[in-house]
């Protein structure tokens, strides 16, 4: 019987934790790795692979390359977002598209809350002022408070579910726009379903937690920003292209909204020339929401766990294409 093979296509040995090759080998898995830059590199390393593993931003798991991987049963993306993978093609081919959101939901929900306070309480402007002189403190008043605000959540996966629990003490009302979230989940979390227009018009804070898909690309554009309250703030810790940046610039220029907290941008890395950088009422971070003192190690461990689960004939802990009919029969694992 051919040994189960896993190929990590965007790391070199010095970037892989020492324990990873040994743990995979102990599970009977043939593990190969290389920083693939082209389709030729990919096929040289992984043409006979059973699991294709992407840790970073590699974009070789596309509609052109996936059909060439005749023995591949799964594509793993270490992280939450799978927008670098052609999920539709993988599903058509019977490949399970795996991610590791459990490594990041705690940190991203923390980061989203931090951005809410940083924007709402004007933290950066106050910090700058406090380092110079205190002659016009009243310019920052009145300051925003979080208690009993209405928070609109676009998407209701693990991250916003954590956010709901963490913010419960502030007694907010939560509105959720997520066509795929079952009513039972919303009821258990004590949140209320809303259509997108209602969520935007009623929320004091709009926080984006949806994956980037064809349907969510530029989900928040000029029409949507105009529906928001003039004193509302917009938070994005998901994917940059969910927001149309030119529309957001216009919204900030014309005071349609009060401010924004952004960890992600349409084009990354962004630069100082990005028109958004001219505004004092936004707070930006460099796509670091998912990182914590534990998240990197946990991402590796969950990725290795997924490889071993697949090798043993089990569905992994998390995968995004629930309608897939796998090339190789898989069982649900009791955890």
Cite the active site residues.
Answer: 239, 268, 287
**Do 5-103+294-311 and 105-284 come out as alike in CATH topology?**
yes
C-alpha to C-alpha distance for 284 and 269, rounded to whole angstroms = 12
Percentage of the chain beyond pLDDT 90 is 90
Task: State both tokens at 324.
Answer: 């897939």
C-alpha to C-alpha distance for 197 and 194, rounded to whole angstroms = 8
Positions in the chain short of pLDDT 50: none
Please, what is the Cα angle at 231 between 226 and 232, to 5 degrees? 70
**Concatenated DSSP letters of 244-302:** -HHHHHHHHHTTSSSEEEES--SSSS--TTSGGGG-TTEEE--S-TT--TTHHHHHHHH
pLDDT digits (tens, 9 = 90+) for 44-85: 999 999 999 999 889 999 999 999 999 999 999 999 889 999
pLDDT given at position 1:
61
What residue segments make up the domains of the chain, in order of their start?
A: 5-103+294-311, 105-284
**Concatenated DSSP letters of 126-143:** HHHHHTT--TTGGGGPSP
Question: What number does CATH give the domain 5-103+294-311?
Answer: 3.40.50.720
CB 306 within 8 A of CB 324: no
* Helix or strand (DSSP H, E) at 19: helix 19-26
Q: Is the peptide bond before 188 cis (omega within 30 degrees of 0)?
A: no
Q: Which fold has domain 105-284?
A: Rossmann fold (3.40.50)
The contacts of residue 226 (CB under 8 Å, 6+ apart) are 251, 256
Does the CA dihedral 27-56-237-297 come out positive or negative? positive
């Amino acid at each position: 019987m051919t040994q189960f093979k896993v190929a990590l296509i965007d790391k070199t040995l010095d970037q892989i934790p020492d324990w990873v090759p040994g743990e995979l080998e102990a599970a009977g898995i043939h593990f190969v790795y290389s920083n693939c830059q082209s389709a030729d590199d990919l096929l040289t390393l992984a043409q006979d692979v059973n699991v294709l593993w992407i840790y970073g931003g590699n974009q070789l798991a596309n509609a052109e390359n996936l059909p060439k991987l005749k023995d591949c049963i799964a594509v793993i993306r270490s992280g939450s977002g799978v927008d670098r993978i052609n999920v539709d093609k993988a599903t058509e081919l019977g490949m399970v598209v795996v991610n590791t959101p459990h490594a990041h939901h705690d940190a991203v929900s923390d980061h989203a809350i931090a951005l809410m306070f940083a924007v709402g309480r004007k933290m950066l402007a106050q910090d700058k002022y406090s380092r110079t002189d205190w002659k016009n403190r009243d310019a920052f008043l009145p300051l925003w408070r979080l208690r009993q605000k209405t928070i609109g959540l676009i998407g209701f996966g693990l991250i916003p579910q954590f956010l709901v629990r963490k913010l419960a003490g502030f007694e907010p009302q939560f509105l959720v726009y997520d066509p795929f979230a079952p009513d039972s989940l919303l009821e258990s979390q004590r949140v209320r379903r809303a259509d997108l227009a209602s969520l935007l018009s009623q929320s004091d804070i709009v926080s984006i937690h949806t994956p980037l898909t064809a349907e969510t690309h530029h989900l928040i554009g000029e029409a949507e920003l105009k529906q928001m309250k003039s004193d509302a703030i917009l938070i994005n810790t998901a994917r940059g292209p969910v927001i149309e940046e030119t529309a957001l610039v216009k919204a900030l220029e014309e005071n349609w909204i009060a401010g924004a907290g952004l960890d992600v941008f349409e084009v990354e890395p962004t630069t100082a020339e990005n028109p958004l950088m001219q505004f004092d009422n936004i707070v930006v971070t460099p796509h670091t929401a998912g990182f914590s003192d534990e998240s990197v190690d946990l991402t590796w461990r969950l990725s290795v766990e997924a490889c071993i689960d697949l090798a043993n004939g089990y569905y992994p802990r998390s995968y995004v294409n629930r309608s897939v009919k796998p090339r190789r029969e898989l069982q649900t694992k009791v955890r």
